[in-house]
Homo-oligomer: A and B are copies of this chain.
Amino acid sequence: MTEVAVLGYGTVGSGVVEVLERNAAVIEHTAGDALHVKYVLDIRDFPGDPIQERITHDFNQILDDPDIKVIAEVMGGVEPAYSFTKQALEKGKSVCTSNKELVARYGSELLSLARDKGVNYLFEASCGGGIPIIAAINQSLIANEIDEITGILNGTTNYILSEMAESGSAFEDALADAQEKGYAERNPEADVEGHDACRKLAILSSLCFGKRVNYEDIYTEGITAVTHADILYAKELGMAVKLLASGWTVPEGDTKRFYALVAPFLVSPENPLFSVNGVFNAVFVHGNMLGDAMFYGSGAGKLPTASAVAGDMIEAVRRAGETIMTFDSTELLPITAIENESRRFFVRIPKEREEAAEKAFGEIKIVTVPELSGETGFVTEEMTEKAFEECAEKAGGIISRIRIK
C-alpha cells in the first residue's frame, strides 16, 4: 500500500478522494498496489465528513512523513501551491496536479526539479480535464513531430457559444445561464477573456514543440465581443463559432517559426472540432506521421478532472524511480508575432460601406442574413493579419471580424 496526501479539499480534491476510494479495487488491480489517502490538507474542518479525521492544517505534517510518496496538489492558484510543490519534490515526493496557473508559470522549472530528485511532476488534469492529451503527447505520439495543436480548451466558453447557437440567446444571457448551472464562475473573466485557454495552450504547446512557451507571449482574444448577429452569420455560412487555442509551426528554411493564438474562430463542418458542443473540450493534433488526430471529453467537472489526477497518482506509484515526462527544457520558445500569419476573415460592415469594402479588400464573398437588414457580411480571400488590418482601415466602419479556421 502506498500512502498519499491531497492538498485542498475543494471540488477536485474531494473528487480525488472519491475516485481513489470508489475505484479502489480496480486501481489496486491495475496499479499492482493500493493507494491510501493518509492526509488531506485544508484550512477548513469538515465535521461529519468521513475525511475529517485525516484533515490536517499543517503542510509540514505531510512533508515530514516519510510514508507519503505521492501528493495531489489540487489547491489552485500560484501560492502557496508553488512553495508546497517545490518542497515536496525536494523531499523526494512526486506531485500530481490540476493547477494550470502553476504549471503554465513554473511547469518547466518544477519538471526539472522533479527530474533532479528522481521523482515526477505530473499534470494531465491541467489541460482538458479528463482528456488524456498530455500522456498522448508525452508517450503515444512520441514518434511524431507535432506541427499543430488546436483545442477547444475551455468548457465555459464552449458552453456559452453552444447555447448562443442553439437557443439564440445573447452572450450575457448565455453567461448568466452558465453561471446558474455552475459552469461559469461568479467572476467569469479568466474564462470569457480567454486567459484560461491561453494558459492551457502554453502548457500543451511547450510539450509539443519542446521548449517553454510563455503564456504572456500568446495573443489572446476572448468571446465577450461575440454577438447573436455573429452567430446568425455563422449559421448562414454553415459554420460554428468556437474559441480555439492553437499553436503551430511553419517551416522556414532549415528551421521553424512557432505561432500561438487564442481567439474565436469560424469553424467549418469538415473540421472535427465543429461538432464539439456544450461543456466538452477537444484537442486536435497534427503529427508529421500520424496525420490528424483528435481527443474529446469532459474538459472540467469534479470527477473527470479528479480521475485524471488519480490516473497520474497511479502512474507515479507504478513508475516510481522513473522520469515519466520527456519534456525537459527551461529554454524559452520564441513565438512569432501573428501579423504575418495568413488566413481568411469574416467581416461585418454597414450596408452602405459594401462598395468601400470591395474596393479595400478586392475579391470578397458577400453573406447576408435576413434578420440583419442594415448590414452585410463578407468573407475575405486569404490574407495576412497585417494586410487585413490595413484593408479594414481603408474600408472603414467595420462592425466586427472573426477569423476563419
Contact = CB atoms under 8 A, between A and B. Distances in A.
Contact of A132 (B136, B301, B303, B307): B136
Nearest to A293: B297
A149 B293 CA distance: 18
A298 interface: yes
Given A311-B143, A314-B143, A304 B319 contact: no
Contacts of A290: 130, 297-298, 303-304, 307-308
Interface string A1-35: 00000000000000000011011001101111000
Given A29-B210, A274-B275, A296-B293, A141 B311 contact: yes
Interface residues of A, number: 56
Contact of A27 (B142, B304, B315): B142
Contacts of A280: 292
B304 A291 contact: yes
Given A275-B274, A308-B140, A296 B295 contact: yes
A308 to B, nearest CB: 7
Contacts of A308: 140, 143, 290
A145 B293 contact: no
Contacts of A295: 293-296
A19 B272 CA distance: 26
Residue of A140, A308, A311, A315 most packed against chain B (CB within 10 A): A140
A87 interface: no
B296 A291 contact: no
Nearest to A136: B132
Which label, helix, strand, loop or mixed, suits the secondary structure of the A interface?
mixed
Contact of A135 (B130, B136, B274, B314): B136
Contacts of A145: 23, 26
A289 B24 CA distance: 13
Interface in A313-332: 313-315, 319, 322, 326
A211 to B, nearest CB: 11
Interface string A133-163: 0011001111111000000000000000000
A253 to B, nearest CB: 16
Given A135-B135, A210-B29, A19 B292 contact: no
Nearest to A270: B277
A124 interface: yes
Interface in A107-133: 124, 130-132
A309 to B, nearest CB: 8
A360 to B, nearest CB: 37
A306 interface: yes
A315 B140 CA distance: 8
Contacts of A27: 142-143
A142 B314 contact: yes
29 contacts: A19-B143, A23-B145, A30-B326, A32-B326, A124-B140, A130-B293, A132-B136, A132-B139, A132-B140, A139-B311, A139-B315, A142-B314, A142-B315, A143-B307, A143-B310, A143-B311, A144-B307, A272-B296, A289-B304, A290-B304, A291-B297, A292-B297, A293-B295, A293-B296, A293-B297, A293-B298, A294-B296, A295-B296, A322-B322
Given A23-B289, A132-B141, A139-B311, 10 more contacts: A23-B143, A26-B145, A132-B136, A132-B140, A139-B315, A142-B311, A144-B311, A287-B307, A291-B297, A293-B298
